[in-house]
């Protein structure tokens, strides 16, 4: 038997077969499913149409989140949220209500463990791979079926391997590493594939940085992004109170990859995605004189407590530029509370930040923080497609929390290494 990739191992363990290989189409059992206020009403409609199948809904592993537009800015969105809230409560499913946090963050904080199979109505479900859980996003209909039958069909993907050498230097983070990856692969370089990160640079990367890597795997078109489960994963689960669910999972030495790339993390400088595409990436030394009107620090990509500690370090008593809007959105109530305990909230408020409730925030233009015409946003999020932040006449640059904080201080896109 040839060696297996992480994707082959994780999918294989959820089939009736002994093992699976890339290219096979298989039925897999699903451990967790979720939906949220952006897709939930459609998913519930589809669930209600399923009459001729037995219900296998797993009440302890089916989660509805209200996170995309919180607090609801319009009556229409309030009505959608009421549909989702009432459905979860009436059917005794898990409800993570408005203010609790972003789906991917809460799943990583409270639910997922290495080896799990998780499907959600959100393209960034691949974030789960930072914990070596197989996560992938699908539409409302697929997830309705997966919720009700506890299974789905998958084509076992080929894998693309990113070998990360060296160690990230100070001021450079997982975000810079994934932006560099996207600059190599483009927005469809890993379509239908599993994007797997390994190497000495990954050994050195904590889970929070790994979750940033896997979060943006879909930006290269990937079905999922995966990182092995090792001692750092174990430490994360220990801190999350579920160390007993840790197990070691690594790709086999003889696993077969469709392609392999190498990045030397120690030589990497902060990276910036220019407007239009998350793969339109340049090293920060080539991004000159870009004036910024709004800085948004938030989202499932990049606001774990470790990220916000770095932001606070960059601000360290400095204020944002006078003519710039600074919006910080903690990803969950837990991280919000930690920020309070550690004095990070005070640091951010003194820097001139608006702090908005846990949720998806400015990321995709359905709630507050929508930019004016011709304004430039620097965002720690994962997408900068035209119109993404709610105004097609604005432009969005993407980068790390450290770069965002540095840029907020100067009012121009700024290398954070100059300020820490």
CA distances from 359 to 100, 107, 167, 282, 300 (A): 8, 13, 32, 29, 9
Binding of another protein by 151 (CB under 8 A): yes
57 binds another protein (CB under 8 A): no
The verdict on 56 binding another protein (CB under 8 A) reads: no
| C-beta closer to another protein: residue 62 or 347 | 62
Q: Is 139 in the site for another protein (CB under 8 A)?
A: yes
The distance of closest approach from Cβ of residue 320 to another protein in the complex, given in angstroms and rounded to an integer, is: 26
Residue choice 11, 39, 66, 240 for contact with another protein (CB under 8 A): 39
- 16 is a site residue for another protein (CB under 8 A): no
Residue 289, Ramachandran bin (φ over 0: left; ψ between -120 and 50: alpha; else beta): left
Using the rule CB under 8 A, which residue among 2, 3, 17, 27 binds another protein? 27
Q: Is 197 helix (H, G, I), strand (E, B) or coil?
A: strand
CB of 369 to another protein, least distance (A): 12
Q: Is 144 in the site for another protein (CB under 8 A)?
A: yes
**Please, are residues 190 and 105 in contact by the beta-carbon 8 Å criterion?**
no
According to the binding rule CB under 8 A, does residue 137 interact with another protein? Answer: yes
Q: Is 188 in the site for another protein (CB under 8 A)?
A: yes
Sole window of 161-169, 185-193, 233-241, 333-341 interacting with another protein (rule: CB under 8 A):
185-193
Contact range with another protein by CB under 8 A, out of 1-9, 183-191, 208-216, 284-292? 183-191
- Regarding 121 and contact with another protein (CB under 8 A), the answer is yes
CB of 270 to another protein, least distance (A): 24
Q: Under 8 Å CB-to-CB from 31, ≥6 apart: which residues?
A: 14, 61, 116, 117, 118
Among 107, 108, 145, 156, binds another protein (CB under 8 A): 145
Element (H, E) at 142: helix 140-149
Total residues contacting another protein (rule CB under 8 A)? 60
User: Is residue 51 involved in binding another protein (CB under 8 A)?
Assistant: yes
Instruction: Please report, for the chain, how many H helices and E strands are present, in that order.
Output: 13, 18
What angle do helix axes 333-341 and 305-315 make, rounded to 10 degrees? 40
Please, what sign has the CA dihedral across residues 231, 236, 238, 239?
positive
Choice between 169 and 191, CB closer to another protein:
191
Contact 54, 98 (CB under 8 A): no
* Cα–Cα dist 352/270, whole Å: 24
CB of 38 or CB of 353, closer to another protein: 38
Q: Is 210 in the site for another protein (CB under 8 A)?
A: no
Q: Answer yes or no: are the C-beta atoms of 278 and 216 closer than 8 Å.
A: yes
Token pair in block for residue 372: 């004016």
Contact 68, 366 (CB under 8 A): yes
Residues 6+ apart with CB under 8 A from 156: 7, 8, 11, 12, 20, 21, 22, 23, 24, 25, 26
Give the closest residue to 6 by CA, choosing from 253, 351, 192.
253
Least distance to another protein, CB of residue 26, Å: 8
- The Cα 271–Cα 400 span in angstroms is 8
Q: Rounded to the nearest whole angstrom, what is the least distance from the CB of residue 145 to another protein in the complex?
A: 6
Nearest CA to 286 out of 179, 210, 377, 187 is that of 179
Q: Does 80 bind another protein (CB under 8 A)?
A: yes
- Site string (279-298) toward another protein, x via CB under 8 A: --------------------
Among 18, 49, 323, 373, binds another protein (CB under 8 A): 49
Q: What is the footprint of another protein within residues 367-406 (CB under 8 A)? A: 370, 383, 385-388, 390-392
Q: How far is CA 417 from CA 176, 182, 399, in A?
A: 13, 22, 14
Residue 223 interacting with another protein (CB under 8 A): yes
Least distance to another protein from the beta carbon of 114, Å?
24
User: Which of 86/192 has CB closer to another protein?
Assistant: 192
Nearer to another protein, 93 or 154 (CB): 154
Q: What residues make contact with another protein under the rule CB under 8 A?
A: 25-27, 38-39, 41-42, 46, 49-53, 68-69, 73-74, 76-77, 79-80, 83, 120-123, 125, 137-142, 144-145, 149, 151-153, 155, 187-188, 191-192, 218, 221, 223, 277, 364-366, 370, 383, 385-388, 390-392
């Amino acid at each position: 038997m040839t060696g297996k990739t992480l994707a082959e191992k994780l999918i294989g363990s959820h089939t009736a077969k002994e093992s699976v290989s890339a290219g096979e189409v298989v039925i897999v059992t699903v451990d967790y499913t979720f939906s949220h206020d952006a897709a939930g009403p459609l998913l519930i409609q589809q669930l209600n149409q399923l009459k001729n199948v037995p219900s296998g809904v797993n009440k302890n592993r089916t989660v509805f989140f209200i996170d995309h537009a919180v607090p609801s800015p319009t009556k229409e969105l309030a009505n959608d949220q009421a549909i989702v809230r009432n459905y979860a409560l009436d059917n005794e499913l898990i409800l993570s209500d408005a203010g609790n946090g972003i789906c991917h963050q809460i799943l990583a904080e409270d639910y997922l463990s290495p080896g799990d199979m998780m499907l959600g109505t959100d393209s960034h479900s691949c974030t789960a791979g930072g914990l070596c859980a197989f996560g992938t996003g699908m539409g409302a209909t697929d997830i309705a079926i997966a919720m009700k039958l506890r299974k789905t069909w998958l084509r076992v993907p080929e894998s693309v391997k990113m070998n990360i050498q060296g160690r990230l230097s100070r001021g450079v983070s997982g975000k810079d590493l994934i932006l560099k990856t996207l600059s190599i692969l483009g927005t469809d370089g890993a379509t239908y594939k599993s994007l797997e990160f390994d190497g000495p640079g990954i050994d050195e990367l904590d889970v929070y940085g790994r979750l940033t890597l896997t979060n943006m795997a879909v930006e290269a078109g990937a079905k999922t992004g995966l990182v092995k489960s090792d001692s750092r994963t174990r430490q994360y689960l220990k801190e999350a109170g579920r160390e007993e669910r840790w197990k070691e999972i690594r790709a086999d030495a003889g696993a077969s990859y469709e392609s392999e790339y190498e990045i030397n993390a120690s030589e990497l400088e902060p990276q910036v995605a220019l407007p239009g595409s998350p793969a339109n990436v340049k090293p920060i030394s080539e991004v000159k004189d870009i004036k910024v009107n709004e800085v948004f620090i938030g989202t499932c990509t990049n606001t774990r407590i470790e990220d916000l500690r770095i932001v606070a370090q960059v601000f360290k008593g400095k204020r944002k530029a006078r003519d710039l809007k600074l919006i910080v959105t903690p990803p969950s109530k837990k991280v919000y509370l930690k920020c309070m305990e550690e004095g990070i909230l005070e640091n951010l408020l003194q820097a001139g930040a608006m702090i908005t409730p846990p949720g998806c925030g400015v990321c995709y233009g359905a709630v507050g923080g929508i930019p004016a015409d011709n304004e430039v946003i620097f965002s720690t999020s994962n997408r900068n497609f035209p119109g993404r932040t709610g105004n097609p006449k604005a432009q969005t640059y993407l980068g790390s929390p450290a770069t965002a904080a540095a840029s907020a201080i100067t009012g121009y896109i700024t290398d954070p290494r100059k300020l820490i």
